[in-house]
A and B are shown apart, each in its own frame.
Chain A
Amino acid sequence: MSKKIKIIVAKPGLDGHDRGAKLLARIFAEAGMEVVYTGLRQTPEMIVATALQEDADVVGLSSLSGVHNYFFPRVAELMKEKGLTDVLLVGGGIIPQEDYDSLKASGMDGIFGPGTPTTEIVKFIEDNVRKKK
């Protein structure tokens, strides 16, 4: 029996749109994951510190205020710095497709835009979390 997947659901920056983050926190828990929801107003440093402290397998970022191009690569960079290279890093929100490539190049493992079924996100995490290890 493999150990439960532990996921940090985080809201970087000042963005207050947390409907998606809270919904996913519930869906992840239902899918058998252990979920830590950070709440709002997290700096990249705070998110990475939580991931370290919680010994997380996955970090999920949610951003709907157009700041993903700033925050997502910054979290990816800090995770590399702290040696969290085996932690799966995913993000979602109002993210135009044209940004996907550069975000992936910066170290994001998966990006999910508006309208993505939650089942697809859960499956992606389950399929990829061990590959990183």
Chain B
Amino acid sequence: MFDEKLLGKIKAGKEKWEQGSVAKTIAKSPERRKEFTTISGTPVERLYTPLDIQGMDYDRDLGFPGEFPYTRGVQPTMYRGRYWTMRQYAGFGSAKDTNARYRYLLQQGQTGLSVAFHLPTQAGYDSDHPLSMGEVGKVGVAIDSIEDLKVLFDGIPLDKVTTSMTINAAATVLLAMYLSIAEEQGVPWDKVGGTVQNDVLKEIICRGQYVYPPKPTMRLTVDLIEFCQKNVPRWNTISISGYHIRESGATAAQEMAFTIADGIAYAQACVDRGMPVDSFGPRLSFFFNAFTNVLEEVAKFRAGRRYWAKVMKERFGAKDPRSMMLRYHVQTGGVTLTAQQPLNNIVRVALQTYATALGGAQSLHTNSYDEALCLPTQQAVTVALRTQQIVAEESGATDTIDPLAGCYYVEAMTDKIEAEIDEYIKKIDAMGGTLTAIEQGYIQKEIQNSSYRFQKEIESGERVYVGINKYTMEEPPPEGLLKVDMSVGEIEAAKLKKLRAERDQAKWKAALDNLKKVSQTDENVMPAVIEAVKAKATVGEICDVWRDVFGEYRPKEFV
């Protein structure tokens, strides 16, 4: 990028500046601290110059938007064409309660849906299971059967919206229900668009909603990918998630590295199934976090795009450019929110939204300012959505593509994060791959060490967190928090009792028997799951079939 002569001049100039102006200033008033670091602990220099990116080759390292290696974005026109999809994750209480929230959000200009299921659905239990006690309708909507999902999408045409479903171990079941409802609405499967999270590895690493051991649960993941590739071409078959890895304490580089490690494991599993890389590659999608350190986040997204493109091209031999694109959803950092002075969170979310826009995401959920206290109220959700709209429509960040490219600091940070990703991937490869690294607790321990380091920095005051260790104040307890009615549990249990009594018993039993039979072979389970949900088998009943066949997972704890 820069010729030797110019670099020499800059180097000499920088030395002179350091020994002269800088030294003089520091002698009078020292800098705020000895070492500056990002929130991830990465050292930050006083000044970045062309010297820090002297090895950069524009064509090789940056290229053009929509072209390999996609550092500058996955689409040729990015937000000049269309903004990211504004997709707020929502779900609470019964299907009816949540349907009302969805209609409200769509009315307010939201452009996609994102379903939060309550924990029993995510863990493969019905609402009346003993382990579901107290959890029904709490952190998401209670969905037990196809009847519930029908109510959830009542009046919402499935050919007009795309829907993202945060469901992993039970992803095949919920997708089967969704496809069946589309069918009933008269929408052909090739017109249905959306995403299932379907990322079971990160459940084992950090999110906790696993059901089956790694190998059989990966088989279900790949069954879904394979089925959609043939039958639901617009579906994003997996959303490989760094979000929760970051939430549980990882640094920015670790978030990207471990997510890519998971991505490699899924891609390899598909290849091992006999699928050509370009048959499934274009439908792999990703999900990341955005913290408040804007420039570090932008660098993380750029580094991730470049690294994934190379993984798909060089490691897996992809030829289709779409296989090489790191397309991703972002959610702002839940863990960055404070219960103290909660309105301050609006500012944090705005910065995180700005980072997401500058980083080139395809879709975004913004958190509500009250989420360190409770599930978000309607007012807080509205502010969160408006934050996206303000950044999109007013900030100007969307008018030119990858505006921070060429910034010495951001380019140097992009290189640094990419190098860190590469180091982790090599280490994990040497250990025998992602599954082994998870089984040995390596990834979990790396994350926990970062979480511990961060906590120590906060408690020593070394890192400032407004409202937590600086600028604290006495506040009255917050009022008007969202409460989920405890009676949802009883209502759902009664609905289940009725469903079980009224469904066609012979058809139901035959469907579950067939599912069991198919699950014991290597055949793709999806058609049998679709048959089962149509016969009104519940999420818990279907997941129990697999508990029988596959066994249940109990992780080793690494603390």
Mark A residues whose CB is within 8 Å of B: 13-19, 22-23, 25-27, 35, 37, 39-41, 43, 65-67, 69-71, 94, 96-98, 113-115, 117-119
User: Residue on B with the closest CB to A119?
Assistant: B459
| A126, chain B: closest CB distance, angstroms | 17
B249 touches A (CB below 8 Å): yes
A70 and B134: CB pair below 8 A?
A: yes
**Contact (A94, B373) CB under 8 Å given A19-B248, A22-B448, A23-B455:** yes
Chain B residues, Cβ within 8 Å of A13: 119, 131, 133-135
**Contact (A14, B132) CB under 8 Å given A23-B455, A97-B477, A115-B339:** yes
B452 touches A (CB below 8 Å): yes
Chain B residues, Cβ within 8 Å of A14: 119-120, 122-123, 125, 131-132, 135, 209
Complex alpha-carbon distance, A69 and B481, angstroms:
15
Which one, B125, B134, B208, contacts A40 given CB within 8 A?
B208
B180-233 interface (Cβ within 8 A of A): 203, 206-209
Chain A residues, Cβ within 8 Å of B451: 19, 22-23
Which one, A17, A22, A23, A97, contacts B478 given CB within 8 A?
A97
B338 and A115: CB pair below 8 A?
A: yes
Which one, A16, A26, A39, A119, contacts B448 given CB within 8 A?
A26
Chain A proximity mask over B523-559: 1 for CB below 8 Å, otherwise 0: 0000000000000000000000000000000110101
Which one, A39, A70, A96, contacts B481 given CB within 8 A?
A96
Complex alpha-carbon distance, A71 and B3, angstroms:
67
Complex alpha-carbon distance, A128 and B455, angstroms:
24
A67 and B208: CB pair below 8 A?
A: no
Mark B residues whose CB is within 8 Å of A: 119-120, 122-123, 125, 130-135, 138-139, 203, 206-209, 247-249, 335, 338-340, 372-375, 448, 451-452, 455, 459, 467-468, 477-478, 481, 484, 486, 554-555, 557, 559
Chain B residues, Cβ within 8 Å of A113: 339
Contact sample, A vs B, 22 pairs, CB 8 Å cutoff: A14-B132, A16-B119, A16-B203, A18-B208, A19-B206, A23-B249, A23-B448, A23-B452, A23-B455, A40-B555, A65-B135, A66-B138, A66-B375, A70-B486, A71-B134, A94-B372, A96-B481, A98-B481, A113-B339, A114-B338, A114-B372, A115-B468
Chain A residues, Cβ within 8 Å of B554: 39
B208 and A25: CB pair below 8 A?
A: no
User: Residue on A with the closest CB to B339?
Assistant: A114
B559 and A25: CB pair below 8 A?
A: yes
| B380, chain A: closest CB distance, angstroms | 14
Complex alpha-carbon distance, A96 and B478, angstroms:
8
Complex alpha-carbon distance, A39 and B558, angstroms:
9
Complex alpha-carbon distance, A94 and B135, angstroms:
14
The residue in B203, B455, B477 that gathers the most chain A C-beta atoms within 10 A of its C-beta is: B455
Known contacts A96-B481, A115-B338; can you find 17 more A-B pairs with CB under 8 A? A14-B125, A15-B119, A19-B206, A23-B249, A39-B554, A65-B138, A65-B139, A66-B374, A71-B134, A94-B339, A96-B478, A98-B481, A113-B339, A114-B372, A115-B340, A115-B468, A119-B459
Interface SS of chain A: helix, strand, loop or mixed?
A: loop
| B552, chain A: closest CB distance, angstroms | 10
Chain B residues, Cβ within 8 Å of A39: 554-555, 557
Complex alpha-carbon distance, A22 and B249, angstroms:
11
Chain B residues, Cβ within 8 Å of A35: 559
B339 and A16: CB pair below 8 A?
A: no
Chain B residues, Cβ within 8 Å of A114: 338-339, 372
Chain B residues, Cβ within 8 Å of A18: 206, 208, 248
User: Residue on B with the closest CB to A45?
Assistant: B130
Complex alpha-carbon distance, A17 and B459, angstroms:
21
| B20, chain A: closest CB distance, angstroms | 43
Complex alpha-carbon distance, A101 and B186, angstroms:
53
Which one, A16, A66, A70, contacts B208 given CB within 8 A?
A16
Complex alpha-carbon distance, A39 and B554, angstroms:
9
Complex alpha-carbon distance, A8 and B203, angstroms:
24
Complex alpha-carbon distance, A96 and B340, angstroms:
11
A19 and B559: CB pair below 8 A?
A: no
Complex alpha-carbon distance, A114 and B374, angstroms:
11
Chain B residues, Cβ within 8 Å of A96: 373-374, 477-478, 481
User: Residue on B with the closest CB to A14?
Assistant: B119
A19 and B247: CB pair below 8 A?
A: yes
A41 and B131: CB pair below 8 A?
A: yes
Which one, B120, B122, B374, B459, contacts A94 given CB within 8 A?
B374
User: Residue on A with the closest CB to B374?
Assistant: A96
Complex alpha-carbon distance, A26 and B456, angstroms:
12
User: Residue on A with the closest CB to B484?
Assistant: A66
| B335, chain A: closest CB distance, angstroms | 7
User: Residue on B with the closest CB to A40?
Assistant: B208
The residue in A14, A67, A94 that gathers the most chain B C-beta atoms within 10 A of its C-beta is: A14
Chain A residues, Cβ within 8 Å of B335: 19
Which one, B135, B207, B209, B559, contacts A37 given CB within 8 A?
B559
User: Residue on A with the closest CB to B555?
Assistant: A39
B131 and A43: CB pair below 8 A?
A: yes
Chain B residues, Cβ within 8 Å of A118: 455, 459
Chain A residues, Cβ within 8 Å of B138: 65-67
| B539, chain A: closest CB distance, angstroms | 13
Chain A residues, Cβ within 8 Å of B468: 115
A26 and B339: CB pair below 8 A?
A: no
Chain A residues, Cβ within 8 Å of B455: 23, 27, 118
A15 and B248: CB pair below 8 A?
A: no
A117 and B247: CB pair below 8 A?
A: no
| B213, chain A: closest CB distance, angstroms | 15
Complex alpha-carbon distance, A71 and B133, angstroms:
9
Chain A residues, Cβ within 8 Å of B248: 18-19
A-B pairs with the 10 shortest C-beta distances?
A16-B208, A70-B134, A14-B119, A97-B477, A114-B339, A67-B134, A25-B559, A19-B248, A39-B557, A66-B138
The residue in B208, B459, B555 that gathers the most chain A C-beta atoms within 10 A of its C-beta is: B208
Which one, B119, B249, B486, B557, contacts A65 given CB within 8 A?
B119
User: Residue on A with the closest CB to B371?
Assistant: A94
**Contact (A15, B208) CB under 8 Å given A26-B559, A37-B557:** yes
